[in-house]
Chains A and B, each alone.
Chain A
Amino acid sequence: MDWQCDRTEDLVDNYLAGEADDADWDFAVKHAEECPECRQKLDDATSYESLMKSAMLAMAREVGTRPSKSPETFLSSGSSRRSARISMRRRNYTYIAIAAASVIIILVLFIAYGSLVKIKKSTPEELARLQVNTMSKAVALIRHPGKITNDRQLVALLEPKLAEKLKQDELPQVKEGKFLDPWEKPFRVMTDETSGRVIFYSVGPNGIDEGCKGDDVFPSN
């Protein structure tokens, strides 16, 4: 253990406290190239971090990230659920009339809107495009010392970043440690030769990897 190892160990602590210094980080990554012990420590720290982040996300999903009804409905005095019911009964008919009127207005607007614009979900191609764009951008933001050696590691690192950018129903499925495209085929990874960037692409509806040609869906820029 020399001073370089000490400095790296401090960096790891600070990193996990959300306070890593860029200069220290660069120093540690450089030092880790020649010190296997410190490389292990950096690897462990980033893996631990992504485990914690994805576990937190999973817990939030489990509980639900927002109330299904407005807090106003249960924040009345007395025991929450019972008193909500009582105060409902007390509401006079004006409220009922207003509610009925708004339901009708909303219904009319909804029908009018529906006839003007076809309400449709995005097509699998559009979804795949959105996913490869987001994944390819997110992978560039990963700060991970050393090489990412397997899919599971990659998924664990990317998932928290994707969850920030995509809505729940836009997130790619994960199966056996791989991201799946809308046709349930794993996304492919390649390095774009001109930019040197790592990109994700989907093999498209025909399920055949055509190397970003044919019906393959690749990032738009």
Chain B
Amino acid sequence: MSESDAELVKQARKGDRTASDRLFRRYWKQIGVFIYQKLGPRGDWEDLLQDIFAKAYRSLKQLRHPERFGPWLYTIAGSACMDVLRAQMRRPDGGSIDDVSESLLSAPADESKLNGETLEAVRTAIGDLPDNYRVVINLRFLEGMSAKDIADFLGEPAGTIRNRIFRANRMLEEKLKEYF
């Protein structure tokens, strides 16, 4: 059995590096997808994720409920995205063309598993959802969790989560009608 987040948080706070290591590996993929949806194609994911995880690690002592590590990490990632977007808006040229072209160049040529246009459509549709909707949709379709699992994970009532999933699905189906 793998250890719970809460146990790993407690060990990590005592300075156990393998515990923090495991904790962050556990969340790398889902937090990566979460920020990708908000920020769109670019080439510096590893740096962004490292900064988010380093920030979380530094403030681990302030986390009041170790069993809510996951949701807490999502809020940190959410505000990190806002910082990146704000910084981009302040830039005089208004964009990050360098980042985009870099990620296009480094993309393998046969990335035809799901065509680029469809992927980008789904990404923007999900990226436009409020963060709390986006979290449940990701946990549902990326992590394969049920509404009940998600409710336990977030510490919210199952009925609330169920409704949030229904509504998010409806919004996405409406926006993505022509893609499925």
Do A51 and B28 have beta carbons less than 8 Å apart?
Answer: no
| B93 on interface, CB distance cutoff 8 Å | no
Nearest-neighbor residue (CB-CB) of A73 within chain B? B50
For residue A72, which residues in chain B have a CB less than 8 angstroms away from its CB? 17, 20-21
For residue A55, which residues in chain B have a CB less than 8 angstroms away from its CB? 114, 118-119, 122-123, 126
Interface SS of chain B: helix
Nearest-neighbor residue (CB-CB) of A62 within chain B? B36
For residue A66, which residues in chain B have a CB less than 8 angstroms away from its CB? 25, 28-29
Whether A75 touches B57, Cβ cut-off 8 Å, given contacts A47-B180, A65-B32, A174-B113, is: yes
| B51 on interface, CB distance cutoff 8 Å | yes
Q: How large is the interface on A (under 10, 10 to 19, 20 to 34, 35 or more residues)?
A: 35 or more
B169 touches which one: A48, A57, A67, A174 (CB < 8 A)?
A48
For residue A85, which residues in chain B have a CB less than 8 angstroms away from its CB? none
For residue A17, which residues in chain B have a CB less than 8 angstroms away from its CB? 140, 146-147, 162, 165-166, 169
| B69 on interface, CB distance cutoff 8 Å | no
CA distance A135 to B41 in the complex (A): 31
Do B147 and A19 have beta carbons less than 8 Å apart?
Answer: yes
CA distance A65 to B24 in the complex (A): 12
CA distance A175 to B114 in the complex (A): 10
Do B29 and A80 have beta carbons less than 8 Å apart?
Answer: no
Do A56 and B169 have beta carbons less than 8 Å apart?
Answer: no
| B33 on interface, CB distance cutoff 8 Å | yes
| Those of A1-56 within 8 Å (CB) of chain B | 13, 16-19, 44, 47-56
| B155 on interface, CB distance cutoff 8 Å | no
Whether A51 touches B176, Cβ cut-off 8 Å, given contacts A74-B50, A75-B20, is: yes
A152 smallest CB distance to B (angstroms): 10
What's the tally of chain B residues with a CB closer than 8 Å to chain A? 54
| A159 on interface, CB distance cutoff 8 Å | yes
CA distance A76 to B169 in the complex (A): 40
| B145 on interface, CB distance cutoff 8 Å | yes
| A77 on interface, CB distance cutoff 8 Å | yes
For residue A54, which residues in chain B have a CB less than 8 angstroms away from its CB? 113-114
| B84 on interface, CB distance cutoff 8 Å | no
CA distance A77 to B21 in the complex (A): 15
Q: Mark B23-66, 1 if CB is under 8 A from A, else 0.
A: 01100110011011100010001110111011001100000000
For residue B123, which residues in chain A have a CB less than 8 angstroms away from its CB? 55, 59
| Those of B112-158 within 8 Å (CB) of chain A | 112-114, 118-119, 122-123, 126, 137-138, 140-142, 144-149
Do A75 and B24 have beta carbons less than 8 Å apart?
Answer: yes
For residue B25, which residues in chain A have a CB less than 8 angstroms away from its CB? 66-67, 71
For residue A71, which residues in chain B have a CB less than 8 angstroms away from its CB? 20-21, 24-25, 53
Do A63 and B45 have beta carbons less than 8 Å apart?
Answer: yes
B112 touches which one: A62, A64, A175 (CB < 8 A)?
A175
Q: Mark A83-96, 1 if CB is under 8 A from B, else 0.
A: 00000000000000
B60 smallest CB distance to A (angstroms): 10
For residue B37, which residues in chain A have a CB less than 8 angstroms away from its CB? 59
Do B114 and A58 have beta carbons less than 8 Å apart?
Answer: yes
| A166 on interface, CB distance cutoff 8 Å | no
Show 8 A/B contacts (Cβ-Cβ < 8 Å), sorted by A: A13-B169, A16-B169, A17-B169, A18-B145, A51-B176, A59-B37, A63-B32, A64-B45
